[in-house]
């Protein structure tokens, strides 16, 4: 097992490197780099997320930052809207952003820094990227963790019940609800919840903004816990409604596959109760793929499923940070989040494989590779 883990860890290095090369290359061809963003602000034509981020400007850019962008040339014509600006000013911007170096040199300098988790400083926030990520992480972890837990707590019992009562009226009705939940995007549920329960048109039971109240620090411990769950209820509910369908079907199909196996027929022939057969024999085998997928499911929900929910409920998390960074061409934030997300994804895939062996020790990945 240790040899298998070592091989997987070593394989992560070229995989992560390839992911970063591909993303860096794509960024080189993306129009409207950070220098164009600064020029647009100077010309008064800045639009999008840049105008919502305070403290932006040429003076906030840290020297020596690395990233993608338009190739440096020092020519006004290389940047949209640069006509009439001093060429020396453009060259100074290129030097501050690090675009006075060739693309390959910028890339390898970036990767060298990333090896020691030095992600540089945001172009437009005048703050280190690692501090930004740490600041936004609690919101995204709250959404991802509670959503994943509730999805599993709902999907597994429901999937088992559907498998046991396959073809019955209960199975048909719940399948209809699952299909509806899977077909309607989470953000539409979020809007409906706001209208119904957050002072939209009907009830005003839940807050609309933020993860905590303004007086959170003044509350007692019990009050802080209650305030936290009061704020997180609607966002998590919106994500759960749109996220439990696939896992429910996976659980049902996995149980149906195991129920038809020979060992189940043998256990029943021995006179074991249906409950003993189901939870003493079938459950362990059927839950193998479901439970082992928990790490990957958590990462998927944490980093990809909460962007619109964060926007709708004004939750300042990693999803909103990444969106604003992409709009603003804030390359240190973009590449750092890609690097961290890709690294976590690769690690979670390994954790998922190891979880298989914890649930069923009979699984031996080294024997399969031999």
All structural domains of the chain: 2-127 (no CATH), 131-328 (1.10.3720.10)
For residue 198, what are the β-bridge partners? 204
Phi, psi of 198 (to 5 degrees): -120, 35
Q: In sequence order, what E strands does 48-133 have?
A: none
Instruction: For residue range 296-343, list pLDDT tens digits in order.
Output: 677 766 665 567 788 888 788 877 788 888 888 888 888 888 888 888
Q: Angle, to 10 degrees, between the axis of helix 87-97 and the axis of helix 34-43?
A: 140
State the DSSP code for 71: P
What's the confidence (pLDDT) of residue 62? Answer: 41
Neighbour tally for 324: CB within 10 Å: 19
The mean pLDDT of the chain is: 77
User: With a threshold of 0.75, does the pTM exceed it?
Assistant: no
CA atoms within 13 A on the CB side of 299: 16
SS (H, E, C) 247-263: HHHHHHHHHHHHHCCHH
Stretches where the chain sits below pLDDT 50 are 49-66, 70-77
Q: List CB contacts of 158: < 8 A, sequence separation 6 or more.
A: 174, 244, 248, 251
Instruction: For residue range 30-83, list pLDDT tens digits in order.
Output: 766 777 767 766 666 555 543 444 443 434 444 344 455 544 444 444 665 555
Token reading at 98? 């690090």
* Helix extents (H) in 165-273: 169-183, 186-197, 221-241, 245-259, 262-269
- C-alpha 50/C-alpha 44 separation (Å) is 12
Query: Which is nearest to 311 in space by CA: 296, 322, 300?
Result: 322
State the DSSP code for 62: P
């Amino acid at each position: 097992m240790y040899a298998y883990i070592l091989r997987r860890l070593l394989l992560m290095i070229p995989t992560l490197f390839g992911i970063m090369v591909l993303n860096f290359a794509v960024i080189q061809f993306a129009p409207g780099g950070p220098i164009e963003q600064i020029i647009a602000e100077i010309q008064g034509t800045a639009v999008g997320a840049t105008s919502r981020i305070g403290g932006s400007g040429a003076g906030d850019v840290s020297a020596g930052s690395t990233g993608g962008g338009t190739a440096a040339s020092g020519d006004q014509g290389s940047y949209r809207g640069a006509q009439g600006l001093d060429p020396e000013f453009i060259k100074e911007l290129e030097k501050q952003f690090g675009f006075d170096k060739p693309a390959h040199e910028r890339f390898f300098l970036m990767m060298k820094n990333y090896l020691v988790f030095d992600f540089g400083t945001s172009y437009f926030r005048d703050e280190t990227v690692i501090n930004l990520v740490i600041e936004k992480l609690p919101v995204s972890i709250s959404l991802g963790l509670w959503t994943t837990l509730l999805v599993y707590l709902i999907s597994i019992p429901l999937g088992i019940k559907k498998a046991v009562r396959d073809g019955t009226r209960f199975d048909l009705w719940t399948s209809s609800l699952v299909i509806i939940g899977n077909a309607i995007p989470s953000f539409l549920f979020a809007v409906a919840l706001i209208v119904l329960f957050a002072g939209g048109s009907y009830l005003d039971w839940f807050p609309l903004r933020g993860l905590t109240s303004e007086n959170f620090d003044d509350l007692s411990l019990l009050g802080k816990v209650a305030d936290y769950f009061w704020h997180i209820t609607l966002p998590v509910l919106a994500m759960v409604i749109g996220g439990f369908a696939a896992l429910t079907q996976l659980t049902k199909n996995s149980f149906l596959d195991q129920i038809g196996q020979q060992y189940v027929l043998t256990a029943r022939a021995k006179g074991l109760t249906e409950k003993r057969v189901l939870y003493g024999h079938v459950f362990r085998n059927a839950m193998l793929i479901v439970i082992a997928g928990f790490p990957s499911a958590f990462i998927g929900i944490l980093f990809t499923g909460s962007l619109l929910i964060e926007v709708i409920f004004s939750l300042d998390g990693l999803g909103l940070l990444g969106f604003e960074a992409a709009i603003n061409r804030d390359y240190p934030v973009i590449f750092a989040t890609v690097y961290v997300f890709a690294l976590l994804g690769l690690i979670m895939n390994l954790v998922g494989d190891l979880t298989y062996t914890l649930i069923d020790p009979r699984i031996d990945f080294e024997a399969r590779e031999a």
